[in-house]
């Protein structure tokens, strides 16, 4: 929570619908190199953060009616229906779509327009190394931060989806939803979201692993496609949805991120202002998180998370800097994956759900237990605990 952290004093239709959250990729460019990814996986990672040519995110002033404003723009010949891909309704109002340079310049002069920014690709990395299903065990990271009964707690997972048939997960199929244009299925095909879900809320039963908030209700908000690609605009739609339908005290996990997007940042801030709590991965590029959205968001109830290993040392791949609020386990974590299986995974994508689980259990009262060693910004991140 950026208002009470130990560190912060002040301080992403096909490709068009793609949302690549590079900063939070499970294992991004730096990790991917170490993990020995295939050439196709490396190519995917290299796309992260790139502009989607000709696609923009247009936001309206807070008092504007999105549908009415869009209709007025059409009547004034500034845009046509074919320019509008997705509409933003809620805390952030506007649309994303294909625009010519002439249209962009015309919209910049429109008094109803608050901002225009380039939409960008975001991609996920690999989803971990398969492991044999354990007779129920508690992953070291979960044991390190603490765990408890999450029954009745809701965590919204903005990611590649969740496997609804995994026996170790409690997925709310009614509230789950896809934000990929033309795709209605919220089911995880890529695998990333299911690994995140297991860390948050794997059941305390007789199989597999135990999550931090065991048996918590998990809501799948899918923004990545079958190949681990997504767009900033789809992430904005998902956060808008949370702001509209989640209740105060609910938790959102965003193990994703890319270049700077003020619109995405603002969407997170608006949801957090309603008492909704956020756990956000700082990113895996070993750089300052200040240039990554939504990791750079500084707001009450929003926690940006760095990664550490089992010895409490800062992970070499983890992003760092003033945006980071807390550290959590992010290396060699056994968790759930698609098809009912289990993997060993790493990354700030895995660190953040530890915090999401604790937020579900304790809210802003989650504890701290020491500090990481080797933090790259020389201000050690506090380690979360129950």
Contact criterion met (CB below 8 Å) for 295 and 24:
yes
Do the strands 217-222 and 154-159 form a parallel or antiparallel pair, or are they unpaired? Answer: parallel
| Nearest partner of 319 among 345, 297, 347, judged by Cα | 347
Rounded to whole angstroms, what are the CA distances from 356 to 67, 95, 201, 269, 371?
Answer: 34, 29, 9, 17, 19
Of the residues 166, 192, 241, 354, only one is catalytic, namely 192
Of 17, 86, 96, 159, catalytic: 159
Q: Let me know if 332 is a catalytic residue.
A: no
- 315 labelled catalytic: no
d(CA 73, CA 80): 8
**What is the three-class DSSP state of 152?**
coil
State the catalytic residue, choosing from 225, 325, 349, 381.
349
DSSP bridge pairs for 285: none
| Residue 131 CB-density burial (10 A; 0-12 exposed, 13-18 middle, 19+ buried) | middle
Calculate the CA dihedral of residues 14, 223, 335, 323 and round it to 10 degrees.
120
**What stretch of H or E contains 237?**
helix 232-245
CA distance from start to end of the chain: 15
User: Do residues 351 and 305 lie in contact, with contact meaning Cβ atoms separated by under 8 Å?
Assistant: yes
CA geometry: angle 138, 325, 333, nearest 5 deg: 20
Neighbours of 218 (CB within 10 A): 32
Dihedral over alpha carbons 187, 141, 381, 31 (to 10 degrees): -60
**CA 314 – CA 319 distance, rounded (Å):** 10
**DSSP-H helix ranges across 56-153:** 66-75, 101-108, 140-145
Does residue 192 have an active-site annotation? yes
Active site residues: 159, 192, 349
């Amino acid at each position: 929570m950026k208002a009470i952290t130990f560190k912060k004093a002040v301080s992403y239709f096909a490709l068009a619908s793609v949302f690549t959250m590079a900063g939070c990729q499970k294992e991004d460019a730096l990790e991917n190199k170490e993990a020995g990814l295939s050439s196709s996986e490396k190519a995917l990672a290299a796309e992260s953060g790139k502009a989607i040519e000709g696609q923009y995110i247009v936001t309206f002033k807070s008092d504007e009616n999105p549908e009415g404003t869009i209709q007025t723009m059409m009547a004034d010949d500034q845009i046509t229906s074919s320019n509008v891909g997705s509409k933003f309704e809620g805390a952030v109002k506007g649309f994303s779509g294909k625009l010519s340079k002439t249209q962009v310049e015309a919209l910049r002069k429109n008094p109803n327009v608050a901002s225009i920014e380039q939409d960008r690709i975001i991609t996920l990395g690999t989803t971990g190394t398969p492991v044999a299903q354990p007779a129920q065990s508690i992953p070291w990271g979960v044991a390190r931060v603490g765990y408890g009964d999450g029954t009745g707690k809701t965590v919204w997972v903005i990611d590649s989806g969740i496997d609804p048939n995994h026996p170790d997960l409690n997925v709310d199929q009614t509230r789950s939803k896809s934000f990929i244009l033309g795709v209605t299925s919220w089911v995880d095909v890529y695998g990333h979201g299911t690994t995140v879900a297991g860390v948050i809320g794997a059941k305390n039963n007789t199989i597999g692993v135990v999550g931090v908030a065991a048996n918590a209700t998990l809501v799948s908000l899918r923004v990545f496609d079958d190949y681990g690609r997504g767009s900033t605009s789809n992430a904005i739609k998902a956060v808008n949805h949370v702001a509209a339908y989640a209740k105060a005290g609910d938790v959102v996990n965003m193990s994703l991120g890319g270049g700077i997007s003020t619109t995405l940042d603002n969407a997170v801030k608006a949801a957090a202002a309603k008492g909704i709590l956020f756990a956000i991965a700082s990113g895996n590029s070993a750089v300052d998180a200040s240039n990554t959205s939504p990791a750079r968001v500084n707001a009450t109830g929003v926690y940006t998370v760095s990664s550490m290993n089992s010895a409490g040392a800062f992970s070499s791949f983890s992003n760092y800097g003033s945006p980071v609020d807390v550290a959590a386990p992010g290396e060699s974590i056994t968790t759930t994956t698609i098809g009912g299986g289990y993997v060993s995974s790493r990354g700030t994508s895995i660190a953040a759900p530890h915090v999401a689980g604790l937020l579900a259990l304790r809210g802003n009262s989650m504890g701290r237990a020491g500090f990481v060693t080797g933090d790259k910004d020389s201000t050690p991140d506090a380690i979360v605990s129950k």
